[in-house]
Amino acid sequence: MLAWAADHEIGPDEAAEFVDANTAHRLAPEPYASAVHDVQRADRGAWTAWLLRGSREDWSDTIAPSPVPALVLAGAEDGDLGPDAQRELNLPHWPQGEFDVVPGAAHLLPWEQPRGVADRIRSFWERRVDHGPTVPTVSARLIASPRVSARTRAVLAARALPDDPAAQPRALSVAQLATLRAVARVVVPQPDEHQVDLALRVDAQLADGLGDGWRVDGLPADPDAYRAALDALAPEAAVSDEHLAGVLDAVDDGSYSPVGGTTVGGAPVGGVLDAGQLRAWFKDAGVDLVKQWLAHPATMAAIDYDGFANGGDGVRKQGFQLLGAGQREAWEPDGATP
């Protein structure tokens, strides 16, 4: 392959040899001609650099795994870069990734099995990507601009990732998560389409110990308080969201008392909170749910907030110049809406 580009552009015979070696079966005439032409268009310098150096570099300790949902496909009949190699070398860099094997294909999957590849991409998109709020283009461009630091950009990108509908709770039980989702629907109502799974994000917050660092005197630790409160509210949530809304109003004014709500030294007996503890928990839970909603870049765009664009990575931070009411910088999105 190095000889093909040693002293001239890759010729048609050499390009055809490459295509034949990397397909499971001979392509139909039209895609075959296109594939051969693509190989011929390869830059000689890039072709040689990849074979001599690029293919031998190991960046696995330099590039952190990406949290972006990813679909890794492998051709069932690909030789050196087939399913085993993709599982070992590629998939570990995508913790939220899925892996699939395309039969009847080797290395040139889109040419060999276009329908099979397209079907897998469409299914993956619908299951893993095409839900959750959309960040407006103008806001996305601002986040990608030099005014936003790489660290802030990474945080906002992670927050914008769609929630996995198949994800399992890490701090709560499945039933407790369902109750928290009902509470979230009452506390932070969202449009029917493209919702943030606030309950799942709060569950992750509890599992990772990323709360605000304090709790009301008399409440147990956050995960225990959530479990006990959600167990108490589960029968109410099972009735309807409208019924739960009334119950939460009663919790908020202190008039709702779960059965058996006695405590010893501030800890719930039998996993049950008293009325005062439940009220204190509800205030904290409301803050957690609203915080997760406001933290999403699409929400920031909807409320016209761009305070994260306050500098970037340069020595001289650009900041804001116009601070008066009703004033807007020239670079600010003009009332972005999702």
**Model pLDDT, residue 215:** 82
| CA 44 – CA 61 distance, rounded (Å) | 29
Give yes or no: residues 16 and 95 share one domain.
no
Name residues whose C-beta falls within 8 Å of residue 276's C-beta, 6 or more positions apart in sequence.
218, 254
pLDDT score of 335: 65
pLDDT of residue 261: 42
87 domain-assigned: yes
> Is 156 among the domain residues?
no
The answer to whether 271 and 278 are in contact (CB under 8 A) is no
Domain match, 125 and 208 both? no
Q: Are 229 and 273 in contact (CB under 8 A)?
A: yes
In contact, 197 and 163? CB cutoff 8 Å: yes
Residue 267 is predicted with a pLDDT of 41
pLDDT at 169: 97
10: left (phi over 0), alpha (psi -120 to 50) or beta: beta
- Concatenate the DSSP letters of all residues of 232-246 into one string: HHHHHHTT-HHHHHH
pLDDT at 338: 40
User: d(Cα 104, Cα 196) in Å, to the nearest integer?
Assistant: 39
The predicted structure's pLDDT at residue 319: 86
Q: How far apart are CA 267 and CA 274, in angstroms?
A: 10
Do 42 and 96 have their domain in common?
no
Residue 271 has a pLDDT of: 54
Q: Is 314 helix (H, G, I), strand (E, B) or coil?
A: coil
Same domain, 36 and 86: no
Instruction: Give the span between the Cα atoms of 45 and 9, in whole angstroms.
Output: 10
Cα–Cα dist 105/82, whole Å: 10
In a domain, 220, yes or no: yes
Same domain? 174 vs 252: yes
| Distance separating alpha carbons of residues 79 and 75, to the nearest angstrom | 9
Specify the pLDDT at position 269.
39
Range of the domain at 221: 161-298
Q: Are residues 227 and 281 in the same domain?
A: yes
Query: Residue 79 is encoded by which pair of tokens?
Result: 């030789």
Instruction: Divide the 338 residues of the chain into consecutive groups of 10 and give the mean pLDDT of each group.
Output: 90 96 96 96 94 93 86 95 95 93 96 97 89 90 94 91 88 97 97 88 95 85 95 95 95 80 40 86 96 95 92 86 88 68
Give the chain's domain count.
Answer: 3
The verdict on 195 and 286 lying in the same domain is yes
How buried is residue 305: exposed, middle or buried, by Cβ count under 10 Å (0-12/13-18/19+)?
middle
Domain assignment present for 265: yes
Q: Which of 157, 169, 161, 143 is nearest to 97 (CA)?
A: 161
Closest CA to 226 of 291, 266, 281, 283: 281
Q: What is the largest CA-CA distance in the chain?
A: 86
